[in-house]
Amino acid sequence: MIYLDNAATTNYKPQTVIDAVTECITKYPFNPNRGGSKHSLELQQKIYDTRRKLSLLYNNDSDNHVVFTAGCTAALNLAILGNARKGHIILTATEHNSVLRPVMQLERKGYAEVSVAEPNENGEITVDELSKYVRKDTYMLCVSHSSNVTGQMQSIAEIGLFAKRHNIILLVDCAQSVGYVPLDMKRCNVDLVAIGAHKGLHAVQGVGALIFNENAVPRPITFGGTGTESHLYYQPSTVPDSLESGTLPCPAIIGMSAGIDYWLENWKQNRQNILETQNIILEGLKNIEGVTVYSKPNYSGITSFNVRKLDSGAVADELAQKYDIVTRGGLQCAPLMHKWLNTTEQGIVRTSVSCVTTKNECYSLLNSIEAIAKKGV
């Protein structure tokens, strides 16, 4: 099998990640903050160490302002719903449904009004475009760091300065950039960052994190046991406990910690391989008659395209069933982006390489696409 759907979940898991998850399952099958045994305390320290790594990684203001969630979707929901108030929200046409749907739910319920900023011809969200939508009651701006459809990166430093100037909370969806492109929250004036562990960090599904500063501490949207202040009838107010009700996915968190270490130790060679293999696919597709390419070179390794007028889902199915190549067709849970690209009906075929993708795998994909372009599906 040739796996080119790493923007959904990376299939390569470093041995260090596997070992960390296995050790946690076998040596630390306990709950942090819910016992005084030696192993429980060791696990508690490992959880804290992971918070510390993420806080340092994104240059945040406090280790306690790192909250573990069930994934990037849960982190984005906590950021949006936990900071919701009457007013106006700006999001961009590049956003994933994990941003779009909670924001639109607020609009449906009458809590917020929503505006959508569109990219320019290069796929970039500009400050001039954002300026069109600012109102006196605008309180949040949601921006995807890297598009999950095309891989296009946004200039968060410029957008962050704009948000600060207008006293707007800036939420950045880093689902596709974590493990590929660093982000300095303080330098870029970012208030909230949402990540998942199972893509660029090469860890396992089931855990993500919301990293936030003092300007955007979210209210709880899930209530229950925290292992602390159990005498209270109401949710405690101390973070991160107030935002982490229930049993944490400890093996996944420890695996994410190992994934962070892997990123920091290997990012140079990993980035080089991603750039080289993505470029092979990108340039090769441009030379196949009937293929339309929507991506540019990017650090997330994403290249999206269509073959003539063929349905993208049918092309992805043909690649999987006939050539054993895994890609992603359809709308990639980003309908606004497809509306902007005018691909809502056809969708897009998305390929996404990883640090272990080989050049031969890329050439096999190109040969398969060429055959499909000639014969159809």
Is residue 135 predicted with pLDDT exceeding 90?
A: yes
**What's the pLDDT score for residue 110?**
95
Is residue 33 predicted with pLDDT exceeding 80?
A: no
**What's the pLDDT score for residue 227?**
82
**What's the pLDDT score for residue 377?**
76
pLDDT band of residue 107 (cuts 50, 70, 90) is very high
Is-contact 298 153, C-beta < 8 A?
Answer: yes
Neighbour count for residue 165 (Cβ, 10 Å)? 11
Instruction: Tell if the pTM clears 0.85, that is, is over it.
Output: yes
**What's the pLDDT score for residue 30?**
82
Full DSSP string of 46-94: HHHHHHHHHHHHTT-S-GGGEEEESSHHHHHHHHHHHT--SEEEEEETT
**What's the pLDDT score for residue 229?**
86
**What's the pLDDT score for residue 38?**
83
| Cβ contacts of 213 within 8 Å, gap of 6 or more | 60, 61, 62, 65, 185, 190, 191, 192
Question: What digits encode the pLDDT tens for the residues 242-301?
Answer: 999 999 999 999 999 999 999 999 999 999 999 999 999 999 999 999 999 999 999 999
How is the beta sheet containing 138-144 ordered, strand by strand? 66-69, 208-212, 192-196, 169-173, 138-144, 87-92, 112-117
Percent of all residues in the chain with a pLDDT value above 90, rounded to a whole number: 93
Neighbour count for residue 265 (Cβ, 10 Å)? 12
Q: What does the alpha-carbon distance between residue 253 and residue 348 come to, in Å, rounded to a whole number?
A: 33
Q: Residue for token digits 């903050």?
A: 33
**What's the pLDDT score for residue 120?**
97
Question: What digits encode the pLDDT tens for the residues 68-105?
Answer: 999 999 999 999 999 999 999 999 999 999 999 999 99
